[in-house]
Amino acid sequence: MCRVSRELSNFIRRDVLTGRAKFGISDDGKELYQVAMARAIARGDWRADYYRGHTLLLALGLIKVEDVLAQLYADAAADGFSRGRQMVGHHSTPTIDETGAWVNQLDSLNVSSGTSPTAGQMARGLGLALASKLYRTDSSIPSEGFSRDGDEIVWSEIGDASTSEGVFWETMNAAGVMNVPLVVTVVDDGYGISVPKELQTTKGSISEAMAGLKVDGTGSGIDIYKVKGWDYPALMDLYPKVAERARETHRAALVHVSELTQPNGHSTSGSHERYKSKERLTWEKEWDCLEQFRHWLIATEVADAGQLAELDKAAKKAVKESRKNAWDTFVGRLSAERDALLKLLPTNGQSNAAYERCREDLMGLEVPLLSEVVDACRRLRLAIGADNLPQPITQWLRDAQRRLSEQVGSDLYSDTEQSPLRVPTVPAVIDEDAKPVPGYQVLQDFFRAKLKQYPNMFAFGEDVGQIGDVNQGFAGLQEEFGKHRVFDTGIREWTILGQAMGMAMRGMRPIAEIQYLDYIFYAMSVLADDIATLRWRSAGTQSAPAIIRTRGHRLEGIWHSGSYLASLVSTCRGMHICVPRNMVQATGMYNTLLQGDDPALVVEVLNGYRLREQQPTNYADFTVPLGVPECLREGTDLTILTYGACVRVCLEAAELLEEQGIEAEVIDVQTLLPFDLEQRIVNQHLKNTNRLLIVDEDAPGGTSAFLSQQILEVHGGYQYLDAPVKTLTGAAHRPGYADEGDYASKPQVMDVVEAAIDLALF
């Protein structure tokens, strides 16, 4: 298997350098420890992968050589990891089926979809490992198909240089604090691309740098091991012991595999001869793990040189045949698509220069990618005019563009029966005589009901456990449901969200709290790169329906008044973003999300927890539909569109406007992603008022620009306007402290009134 993997790595490099593929990264020089690791992995274990690792999957029999090459070639039809959406080395195994139902995660190794950002897998791995601990802690958690008493280990690998990333340290510290079965292998070949580890790591050794975390006599800490990557007997002895201890104790482990090499360099983006000395290159050739393995096999008389030569020859032949099969299958499928279009082009005098040029362009494509064939057809349409393009060609082009769009763009959100967009709407039932209660009590009552209803629901974050969060939404619930259901974390936003993601991938329903929206930017990588993209990058074969709870908008000062949502709207496609105006609406959104299978971010109004609201009698069941704005006040002169904390501001402004003879309707967006799925704002409101004022607390050109683009461009609202769209936003600078800072930084009632008057008089 080692030789097969090495030959595969060699062909990956060759195919990139000869133009068959765009980019290659592989396992050369790093095969041996993976073969040893394969002996220690048990069914049900998980892998939080980085962008290497085909050796392990080949050794476990989970994949074939053709599978790796299909991803290398971006063969969407044959790439089972990502449907051509990720570069080679980013592996995954299905955790949900085509209906969105969970598959049995105990049948084999589960591979969480890999990502490229260095160390990005660490936070996800922490969450996957925490799930094992929770399954072992509480037998009442539904575990069928997910866990065998929490015995599952999470295996994570990371390049030595990537341990310089903050999330690596954050994860290892958290793993030691929480005692979770996370086994992290540090793959140390001495370099981070061209930068040597002496410039990356204190003492030039990650195991020495982390010595302070090593387990002590009290059992606190993590296990730390060091082994040479070319020492086969030591590797084979070590990994089963590491696995046995991690399964038994749930103590995290670091395995520092050193003295590895990279015969083909870091990747196909450059040659390592540019930055390594001749002495280093000579050393790498001698201490290549497969070269040393060969010496060991001969010295121990497991095999002789002749037998090994035959194995080398057989491996090269097998990989070469697999490569031919993968390439021929890929090109054959593409050629069939091109040929279908060629047959539609007119001949026998019905052709002209444009058709012949198109035919020549198509025949000149050595690898007729669907995108290139589609582009040639579009150029033909431009040349002869859309009205003159024969209907069969028009239909082919329409179908091909749809297929290409689905091939690349499907599965951004769930389209299963479990989609939150398909959750039935249950209106709130409010007793008019009900005494209003503070917003935090609304949340307490709701979360208590949900923790009773869902034994697999957990809530955690900074100050969430003992004191029930800084705004009391979970007050008293840790005592009622236990420290493993409602618990505190350290100040570590990145891994808080990683915990949520990993738990959600293993059948749990986590609600992870980021204390203030301003702090979510410490976790943007896991949020935007990992959680939001998971379903899409795995082509609908994995999901993580985590709910991220935070609070923003108005309070005091720069970092407690966050309303900067534009960056989230643009980078977190694949998640729902809910912006409830009060806590009752928030609970309705949580109800919807808990019944769905997509991840979401809920931004509660920071200054609304002590405001009193009438609590629905069906607070545990009522739902707020996503993507459906709500008209809170009718009007005929202009439409004011807003969300979150600005709703109360705009409603008060509308009352003052009425005194001035201006009837303004106020619409609460409710969710930014999705936005107004039925286009109600245009069809039911803008058609009548013909004027639009958008009010929000984001910076100028932020979320208001997104809302404007959706209404004018996507929904066609421009045709009903009698005046330009006006936006009223927060200031360009961060919000200032205290009353005057808020007044000058955020839209106030009189700002809305004056902007509305200007618009009404236009």
Distance CA 319, CA 15 (A): 13
Return phi, psi of residue 32, to 5°.
-65, -45
How do 253-258 and 457-461 pair as beta strands? Answer: unpaired
pLDDT in tens, 576-596: 999 999 999 999 999 999 999
Q: In the prediction, which pLDDT does 272 show?
A: 86
The length of the chain, given as a count of residues: 762
Distance CA 600, CA 413 (A): 11
Which of 502, 680, 671 is closest to 602 using CA atoms?
671
How are strands ordered across the β-sheet holding 671-673?
486-488, 457-461, 509-513, 547-552, 600-605, 576-578, 671-673
Distance CA 249, CA 219 (A): 10
When pLDDT is averaged across residues 158-174 and rounded to a whole number, the result is 96
Query: Percent of the chain scored above 90 by pLDDT?
Result: 93
pLDDT in tens, 12-44: 999 999 999 999 999 999 999 999 999 999 999
pLDDT of residue 349 exceeding 80, the answer is no
Q: In the prediction, which pLDDT does 555 show?
A: 67
pLDDT of residue 270 exceeding 80, the answer is no
pLDDT in tens, 404-447: 999 999 999 999 999 999 999 999 999 988 899 999 999 999 99
Confidence of residue 468 (pLDDT cuts 50, 70, 90): very high
Domain 630-760 adopts which CATH fold? Rossmann fold (3.40.50)
Return phi, psi of residue 457, to 5°.
-95, 140
Distance CA 160, CA 177 (A): 23
In which element (H, E) is residue 593 found?
helix 583-594
Neighbours of 630 (CB within 10 A): 15
Distance CA 591, CA 616 (A): 13
Q: In the prediction, which pLDDT does 668 show?
A: 98
Name residues whose C-beta falls within 8 Å of residue 258's C-beta, 6 or more positions apart in sequence. 188, 205, 226, 227, 228, 229
pLDDT in tens, 218-251: 889 999 999 999 999 999 999 999 999 999 999 9
Distance CA 212, CA 220 (A): 11
Confidence of residue 350 (pLDDT cuts 50, 70, 90): low
Residues 416/597, Cβ–Cβ less than 8 Å? yes
Q: Which CATH number fits domain 420-613: 3.40.50.12170, 3.20.20.140, 3.10.180.10, 3.40.50.970?
A: 3.40.50.970
User: Minimum mean pLDDT among 316-330, 558-572, 628-642: which range?
Assistant: 558-572
Which of 447, 760, 431 is closest to 590 using CA atoms?
447
Task: Fill in the amino acid letter for 214.
Answer: K
Name residues whose C-beta falls within 8 Å of residue 98's C-beta, 6 or more positions apart in sequence. 540
Q: Largest Cα–Cα distance of the chain, in whole Å?
A: 98
Distance CA 702, CA 419 (A): 28
Neighbours of 350 (CB within 10 A): 9
pLDDT of residue 556 exceeding 80, the answer is no
When pLDDT is averaged across residues 368-385 and rounded to a whole number, the result is 97
Return phi, psi of residue 72, to 5°.
-60, -40
Confidence of residue 266 (pLDDT cuts 50, 70, 90): confident
Return phi, psi of residue 254, to 5°.
-115, 125
In which element (H, E) is residue 579 found?
none
Task: Fill in the amino acid letter for 631.
Answer: C
DSSP state of 369: -
Distance CA 269, CA 275 (A): 13
When pLDDT is averaged across residues 118-143 and rounded to a whole number, the result is 97
Domain 2-302 adopts which CATH fold? Rossmann fold (3.40.50)
- As given in the structure block, the two tokens for residue 309 are 């030569």
What positions carry a catalytic annotation?
Answer: 493, 560
Would you give the end-to-end CA distance of the chain in angstroms?
75
Distance CA 120, CA 502 (A): 13
Query: Percent of the chain scored above 70 by pLDDT?
Result: 99
Confidence of residue 642 (pLDDT cuts 50, 70, 90): very high
Q: In the prediction, which pLDDT does 676 show?
A: 98
How are strands ordered across the β-sheet holding 223-228?
110-112, 46-48, 154-159, 182-187, 253-258, 223-228
Q: In the prediction, which pLDDT does 201 show?
A: 94
Distance CA 471, CA 487 (A): 15
- As given in the structure block, the two tokens for residue 500 are 């949520």
Return phi, psi of residue 438, to 5°.
-60, 150
Which of 147, 159, 150 is closest to 49 using CA atoms?
159
Exposure b/e, 664-680, CB count within 10 A at least 16 = b: bbbbbbbbbbbbbeebb
Which residues is 680 bridged to in the sheet?
none
Distance CA 717, CA 761 (A): 20
Name the segment(s) of the chain with CATH classification 3.40.50.970.
Answer: 2-302, 420-613
Average per-residue pLDDT for the chain: 95
Q: In the prediction, which pLDDT does 269 show?
A: 74
3-state secondary structure of 452: helix
